């Protein structure tokens, strides 16, 4: 479930070929690709009528969905740009976060995408890194996660939606335990949680994740945390502090300075909220 921030960008000339506007049949329904009216090189992917991804073909470091920018801020607060990462993405879409990670880090990445036809289109439309830098694996997210070797990923990003909701199997304690098993020591499980004003999904997920991970923090815009809108909450989990004390100040300032200012909840605040 994506969020949008509308800002005008300098017009640039995109590469020849590649993406084309239109509707495309995929294994799970229909994908629609449309141009971003604010950028000559921006594209918006809708999956079964729901905005799924935004890609700038000229700038992989540009993230237009605000929750992805919050994820990027948490990753930067956790790892220096010269660190090597092994990253697993549960949910592919247009591989926006995978393109960002590739642009910012020396990383080996696997993207798990249920819809094989969509994955083929994304490879065709956008200039994705080739294997072994980025591999796309078709399958159910939890099935693939459960098949992976212990301690083999520094970062797992869960961004899986069926319509506007995360499949229930991925919000269970079993799924959290599998993520913990696959993470290397000090690794981070980063979750995109879509919710309504009552924050019921976030409260439940925070409780489940908090029963498995020692440290759980969250980021959302202030109105979301106050129960005034529907949107996204980004949850980050680890057995070690997700963000070092010294990095919390710069992270909070970065989140407040974005196009959609966001609030950071530390582990104690999340634990109190989850009860």
In this predicted model, what pLDDT tens digit does every residue of 246-275 receive, in sequence order?
A: 999 999 999 998 778 999 999 999 999 998
In this predicted model, what pLDDT tens digit does every residue of 166-189 receive, in sequence order?
A: 999 999 999 999 999 999 999 999
- Position 11 scores a pLDDT of 29
DSSP 133-169: TEEEEES-HHHHHHHSPTT-EEEEEE---BTTB--GG
- Position 18 scores a pLDDT of 85
In this predicted model, what pLDDT tens digit does every residue of 83-133 receive, in sequence order?
A: 999 999 999 899 999 999 999 999 999 999 999 999 999 999 998 999 999
Residue 105 and residue 86 in contact, taking contact as beta carbons nearer than 8 Å: no
Question: 109: which residues sit within 8 A by CB, 6+ positions away?
Answer: 86, 87, 88, 89, 98, 101, 102, 129, 133, 134, 135
DSSP 197: T
All domains in the chain, ordered by first residue: 64-274 (3.40.50.150)
In this predicted model, what pLDDT tens digit does every residue of 184-237 receive, in sequence order?
A: 999 999 999 999 999 999 999 999 999 999 999 999 999 999 999 999 999 999
- In the three-class reduction of DSSP (H, G, I as helix; E, B as strand; rest coil), residue 85 is classed as strand
In this predicted model, what pLDDT tens digit does every residue of 133-174 receive, in sequence order?
A: 999 999 999 999 999 999 999 999 999 988 778 999 999 999
Q: Using the predicted structure, report yes or no on whether residue 8 has a pLDDT greater than 70.
A: no
Q: Can you tell me the distance from the alpha carbon of 110 to that of 86, in angstroms, rounded to the nearest whole number? A: 8
- In the three-class reduction of DSSP (H, G, I as helix; E, B as strand; rest coil), residue 203 is classed as helix
Q: Which residue has the tokens 């090597």?
A: 84
Tokens of 11: 């017009």
CA end-to-end span of the chain, whole Å? 26
Mean pLDDT score, 26-53: 95
- Position 258 scores a pLDDT of 75
Helices in the chain by DSSP H: which ranges? 66-78, 96-104, 116-125, 141-147, 173-182, 200-210, 222-225, 245-256, 267-274
């Amino acid at each position: 479930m994506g969020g949008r921030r509308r800002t005008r960008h300098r017009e640039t000339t995109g590469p020849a070929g590649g993406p084309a506007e239109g509707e495309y049949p995929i294994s799970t329904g229909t994908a629609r690709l449309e141009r971003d009216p604010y950028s000559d090189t921006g594209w918006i992917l809708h999956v079964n009528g729901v905005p799924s991804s935004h890609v700038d073909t000229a700038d992989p470091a540009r993230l237009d969905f605000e929750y992805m920018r919050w994820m990027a801020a948490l990753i930067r607060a956790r790892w220096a740009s010269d660190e090597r990462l092994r990253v697993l993405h549960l949910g592919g879409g247009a591989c926006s976060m995978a393109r960002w990670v590739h642009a910012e880090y020396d990383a080996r990445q696997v993207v798990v995408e249920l819809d094989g036809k969509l994955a083929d289109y994304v490879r065709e439309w956008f200039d994705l890194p080739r294997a072994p830098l980025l591999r796309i694996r078709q399958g159910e997210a939890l099935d693939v996660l459960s098949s992976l070797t212990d301690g083999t990923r520094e970062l797992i990003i869960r961004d899986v939606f069926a319509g506007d909701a995360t499949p229930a199997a991925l919000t269970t304690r079993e799924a959290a335990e599998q993520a913990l098993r696959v993470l290397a020591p000090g690794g981070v499980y980063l979750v995109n949680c879509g919710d309504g004003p009552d924050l019921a999904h976030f409260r439940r997920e925070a409780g489940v994740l908090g029963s498995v991970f020692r440290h759980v923090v969250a980021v959302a815009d202030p109105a979301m945390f106050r129960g005034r809108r529907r949107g996204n909450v980004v949850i980050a989990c680890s057995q070690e502090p997700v963000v070092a004390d010294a990095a919390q100040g710069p992270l909070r300032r970065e989140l407040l300075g974005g196009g959609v200012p966001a609030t950071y909840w530390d582990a104690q605040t999340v634990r109190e909220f989850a009860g």
